[in-house]
Amino acid sequence: AQKVTQAQTEISVVEKEDVTLDCVYETRDTTYYLFWYKQPPSGELVFLIRRNSFDEQNEISGRYSWNFQKSTSSFNFTITASQVVDSAVYFCALSEDSGAGSYQLTFGKGTKLSVIP
């Protein structure tokens, strides 16, 4: 069965500090997809990034960067020079390629990030 673990429940940083959110996953499939979503206080989940299991290239997008390592089953997310607007709950999620056309997402419990001015 697939599982996603976000060990950090809450993180507080001072504005402009860098912060890394950890995600460890478990799956028996060789083809799978990893996602990060952001949930601000309004409640709507906002898609940030998707990574395929066969693409280990790390990515930087503005202040965001992602580090995908299959060897350690980790997909970590770093925010550089954090801002107050980054305060939210961040979820890591996993989708296996079941072959039945199901896109079911398995989420971690989330990490609440508070950026203090």
Partner 1 sequence: DAGVTQSPTHLIKTRGQHVTLRCSPISGHKSVSWYQQVLGQGPQFIFQYYEKEERGRGNFPDRFSARQFPNYSSELNVNALLLGDSALYLCASSPGGGRRTQYFGPGTRLTVL
Per CB under 8 A, residues contacting partner 1 are 4, 33, 35, 37, 42-47, 50, 91, 93, 95, 98, 100-110
User: Nearer to partner 1 by C-beta: 6 or 82?
Assistant: 6
User: Nearer to partner 1 by C-beta: 37 or 86?
Assistant: 37
- Amino acid identity, position 62: G
d(CA 112, CA 87): 8
* Among 47, 42, 53, CA closest to 91: 47
User: Nearer to partner 1 by C-beta: 76 or 95?
Assistant: 95
User: Nearer to partner 1 by C-beta: 80 or 107?
Assistant: 107
Tell how strand 10-14 and strand 111-116 pair up.
Answer: parallel
**DSSP per residue over 80-113, as a string?**
SS--GGG-EEEEEEEEE--SSS----EE---EEE
The nearest distance, CB 9 to partner 1, in angstroms, is 9
The nearest distance, CB 110 to partner 1, in angstroms, is 5
The nearest distance, CB 62 to partner 1, in angstroms, is 19
